[in-house]
Amino acid sequence: MQPIEKTAQELDMFQKIAEHEQVLFCNDPATGLKAIIAIHDTTLGPGLGGTRMYPYESVEAALTDALRLSEGMTYKCAAADIDFGGAKGVIIGDPKTDKTSALFRSYGQYVESLNGRFYTGTDMGTTMDDFVHATKETNFINGIPEAYGGGGDSSIPTSRGVIYGIEATNAFLFGNGELTGKTYALQGLGKVGYKVAQQLLEAGANLYVTDLNEDAVTRILKEAENQDGNVEVVDSDAIYETDADIFIPCAMGGGINEETIHKLTVKAVVGSANNQLETDDDGERLHEKGILYAPDYIVNMGGLIQVADELYGPDKERVLLKVKAIKDTLLHVYEQSQTEGISTIKAANLNCEKRLEEQMHRNNFFTRKRRPKWEIKE
């Protein structure tokens, strides 16, 4: 048999997914489903990560997002000290117009085909009700409504984790964790961002906010009328240049980059958005500029904690106790960064990689006997 010659484009694709264990392309013309499931690393256990729906401009853009998000989930699971690995799903489509029950049932069949290597639930652009349809085809779904035996809205513990992250940051920077008397620039008023804004207003904080959803902006302005805190609306570019104490990114990833870092005058960045840093170098840029960065996969792991915990039987009190640990985890990273003179993202990554390396030496069904990328020297 003659060896198969790969084109340059095919080689680029394989190189792009080289750090991932498995990438599954899901195509069902009957329902219109076009999706990608990326499983990054199952050293700690089966892959766990939400599925987002977004009108990506290309398959390439969707794949890039899936790969970055799934790698981030590996670190998030390690930081949360749960027995799951990193994975993520993306569905290509407009969540406002392209959703159908048949599409999510079809997606559920693809999840089922992975035979337990991938657990998933809601993310940006998807809801708990969407995945009720998927549960008709697979049991590997979590983050579903309480009426169906799930833990309910995962944005609640996620937003609470952001508040704990802000409190830890305030304690490290200012000597106390009080939210009152500070000003925050909040980018994004989605499922998590809106709840963060509510809690900050209740604490008497002052906010700059921006969001493309005018209804969300109107609602938060109305809520501010009955709170001690104030809200000022700014456009999407101006949010980076406000005179806030802390910048809170709760929208799409990649918003912290070389260009926007130059604009920032805040003392810290603490938010729920996944993959806030466009590149790892941006974490170093923040460090060099003296801006304290709370690694996103620590701050936003409240939702992950809930969906992972749900598999043992929903328990809100137990989840909130685990979410509270975000504060101590973040303080440890800050102190390690300060002591060793390294960026906070490097400190956080080192801690996660240590746990992954330790687990590789244990007898784990899902462990792949390979050298992790952080051990490979160029």
Q: Judge contact between 241 and 263, C-beta under 8 A.
A: yes
Q: How far apart are CA 22 and CA 30, in angstroms?
A: 25
Give CATH for domain 155-354.
3.40.50.720
Long-range CB contacts (< 8 A, 24+ apart) of 177-180? 177/327, 178/203, 179/203, 179/204, 179/205, 180/204, 180/205
Q: What is the pLDDT along the chain (378 residues), one digit of tens a residue?
A: 455 555 555 558 888 899 999 999 999 999 999 999 999 999 999 999 999 999 999 999 999 999 999 998 999 999 998 999 999 999 999 999 999 999 999 999 999 999 999 999 988 899 989 999 999 999 999 888 888 888 888 889 999 999 999 999 999 999 999 999 899 999 999 989 999 999 999 999 999 999 999 999 999 999 999 888 899 999 999 999 999 999 999 998 889 999 999 999 999 999 999 889 998 899 999 999 999 999 999 999 998 999 888 878 888 889 999 999 999 999 999 999 999 999 999 999 999 999 998 887 765 554 444 445 445 444
Question: What pLDDT shows up at residue 378?
Answer: 44
Residue found by looking up tokens 């973040």 in the block: 330
pLDDT for res 377 = 45
Cα separation of 54 and 66, whole Å? 11
Phi/psi of residue 300, nearest 5 degrees: -100, 15
For 144-179, write each residue's pLDDT tens digit: 888 888 888 888 999 999 999 999 999 999 999 999
Report pLDDT for 312: 81
C-alpha 300, offset from chain centre: 6
> What is the reported pTM?
0.82
What is the reported pLDDT for 141? 93
Residues 210-263 have pLDDT tens digits of: 999 999 999 999 999 988 889 999 999 999 999 999 999 999 888 999 999 999
For the chain, the structural domain boundaries read: 15-72+86-148, 155-354
**Of residues 99, 120, 98, the one with CA closest to residue 109:** 120
Please name the fold of domain 15-72+86-148.
Rossmann fold (3.40.50)
Residues 6+ apart with CB under 8 A from 339: none
Sorted by sequence, the CB contacts under 8 Å of residue 364 that are 6+ apart come out as 43, 44, 45
Helix (H, G, I), strand (E, B) or coil at 209: strand
Judged by phi (left if over 0) then psi (alpha if -120 to 50, else beta), residue 116 lies in: left
Residue from 34, 76, 88, 195 carrying the catalytic annotation? 88
Measured between alpha carbons, how far is 239 from 256 in angstroms, rounded to an integer?
12
Residue 365 near residue 83, CB atoms below 8 Å: no
For residue 339, what are the CA distances in angstroms to 171, 331, 336, 344? 17, 12, 5, 11
Phi, psi (rounded to 5 degrees) for 210: -150, 140
- Cα 368 to Cα 366: distance, rounded to the nearest angstrom: 6
CA distance 170 to 360: 36
Domains 15-72+86-148 and 155-354 fall in the same CATH topology: yes
The pLDDT of residue 147 = 85
Is 263 in the active site?
no
Q: Which amino acid is at 141?
A: I
β-partners of residue 208 are 185, 232
